[in-house]
Amino acid sequence: MDTIHACFKDKIGEVLLPGDVFSFRLPESGDGSIKTDKIICGPGLRRNGEEVQVCKSGILRHKQPNMYWIDSQQRRYVPAKGESVIGIVTAKSGDIFKVDVGGSEQASLSYLAFEGATKRNRPNVQVGDLVYGQFTIANKDMEPELVCIDSCGRANGMGVFGADGLLFKLSLGLVRRLLAPQSEIVKDLEKIFPFELVVGMNGRVWVKAKTVQQTLIVTSLLESCENMTSQQRQTLFKRVAEGSL
Amino acid sequence: MRVVALWSEMAKDGAAKLSKNVLRMKFMQRGLDAELKQQLEEEEKRIVSDEHWSLDLPELTAKEGDLERSCVPCEDLVYGRMSFSSFNPEVEVNFYEMKRKSVSRMETDITDEEMARRYESLVESMRKKFAKKRNRSTIAKSEEDVNCNVDDNQHKKVFLKPQD
């Protein structure tokens, strides 16, 4: 147990490249069975028996007690189970809707996967609507499936949204920073003016504010946050806040 | 019953036997014993589980396991629908609730000891409420008794037949 974590410990916070391998000798146990230690490999790492291989380039991160992953940057989204995304309804065929989520395939969304939907009581979803839903099935072998209810059957904010507002695209790393538990960007943004924000893990963000101008301001602020340090960002936000007042 | 008797006779003769599917039908099963029924069921289960394909390699599954494809649990990402300064009240309420749920789960709950104490008093009061008038005094007595001595002097009053 200690040997495994020791292998990782010196590399936490360092940049790794695909092909880097962590191998550790598991101690010989009496019955000869392979004792798998409870290490959870997050995105970017692959476990191969006694080795852990890096598949993406990025910084190694660690979370107690035993989770490791690679923090990488990309713009192309790959669907993963359990993630909440914004999709655009492209087609309606029979009992399912085809939703574009920005992945390699369009996801399918059944009309029964909305709160309070029955066979008689169909949800009001048209082609071109924005939906916020979660993936129930998302792997490389099958077509991804979305649902707009949680396991208890409640909508919980998911479903069709967005009568007005603006939808735009950000990089995945910035989206993850926005959704972090104590996100500074969000804290700075909310001081400027009231607005509503929906963030999808596929890089799509939807903003709505009182006027069109305010909406555009928020959009351009978010887009510019990508390559700024927190200092620059705070000065920029302060200027905007004073300017809008 | 007649059908079953006929069937066993025909089988002995060596003449045309009834097919397995017919034998599995409900009216043919009524005449069978419980043992025979169990045997038939077990055979069926065996056939079904033989047809299922399975990997007989526990090592293979052990090697690949524990792969987390999503970064949501890694970085503890929050709920994606937010509203600020009461722009959309429903969304805001929902957002704060989800945040509260994920951040502090244990703080709003009461401790185990408190729960046990409350449950104890609840049980006592319910018992008193539904006890018959005659038993209420015994309950009061047993509560005061700190040592909880089980005293059986309060026999249940039964009808005594008059000795004639």
Q: Which residues of B touch A37 (CB under 8 A)?
A: none
Q: How far is B121 from chain A (nearest CA, A)?
A: 33
Predicted confidence pLDDT, tens digits, chain B (164 residues): 555 566 666 555 566 788 888 877 888 777 777 888 888 889 888 888 887 776 666 665 555 556 788 888 888 888 888 888 878 888 888 888 887 777 665 455 667 788 888 888 888 888 888 888 877 777 766 666 666 565 555 567 788 888 87
The CA distances from residue A28 to A10, A23, A66, A234, B135, in Å, are 25, 15, 22, 55, 67
Q: Which residues of A touch B69 (CB under 8 A)?
A: 43, 80-81, 138
User: Collapsing DSSP states into helix, strand and coil, what is residue A62?
Assistant: strand
Cβ A227 vs Cβ A185: under 8 Å:
no
CA atoms within 13 A on the CB side of A70: 22
- As a 3-state breakdown, chain B gives helix, strand, coil percent values, each rounded to 5, of 60, 5, 40
Which of A84, A180, A196 has its CB closest to that of B83?
A196
Query: What is the distance of C-alpha A217 from the center of its chain?
Result: 24
> What phi and psi values does residue A200 have, to the nearest 5 degrees?
-105, 145
Query: Is A194 within 8 Å of B80 when comparing Cβ atoms?
Result: no
Q: Which residues of B touch A101 (CB under 8 A)?
A: none
How far apart (Å, rounded) are the C-alpha atoms in residues B119 and A80?
44
Name the residue with tokens 């009808």.
Answer: B159
Q: Establish if B135 touches chain A: CB-CB under 8 angstroms.
A: no
User: Collapsing DSSP states into helix, strand and coil, what is residue B104?
Assistant: coil
What are residue A85's DSSP bridge partners?
A133
Q: How confident is the model at residue A244 (pLDDT cuts 50, 70, 90)?
A: low
Which of B64, B68, B94 has its CB closest to that of A42?
B68
**Two tokens, residue B119:** 């449950």
Q: At a CB cut-off of 8 Å and minimum separation 6, what does A193 contact?
A: A209, A210, A214, A244, B85
Please name the residues between 72 and 101 in chain B that touch chain A, using a CB distance below 8 Å. 72-88, 91, 94-95, 98
Q: What is the ipTM of this complex?
A: 0.70
Query: Is B78 within 8 Å of A67 when comparing Cβ atoms?
Result: no
Which of A41, A157, A194 has its CB closest to that of B68?
A41
Name the residue with tokens 């538990």.
Answer: A181
* Residue pLDDT, tens place only, A162-215: 778 899 999 998 999 888 888 888 888 888 888 899 999 999 999 999 899 989
Query: Is A69 within 8 Å of B71 when comparing Cβ atoms?
Result: yes
> How many A-B residue pairs are in contact by the CB < 8 A criterion?
116
Sheet strands (E) in chain A: 15-16, 21-23, 40-41, 45-48, 51-54, 58-63, 67-71, 84-93, 96-100, 107-110, 130-137, 145-147, 159-161, 166-169, 195-199, 204-209
Q: Establish if B57 touches chain A: CB-CB under 8 angstroms.
A: no
Global model pTM greater than 0.80: no
Query: Sign (positive/negative) of CA torsion A106, A112, A115, A121?
Result: positive
Cβ A69 vs Cβ A43: under 8 Å:
yes
Q: How far is A110 from chain B (nearest CA, A)?
A: 22
Q: Establish if B60 touches chain A: CB-CB under 8 angstroms.
A: no
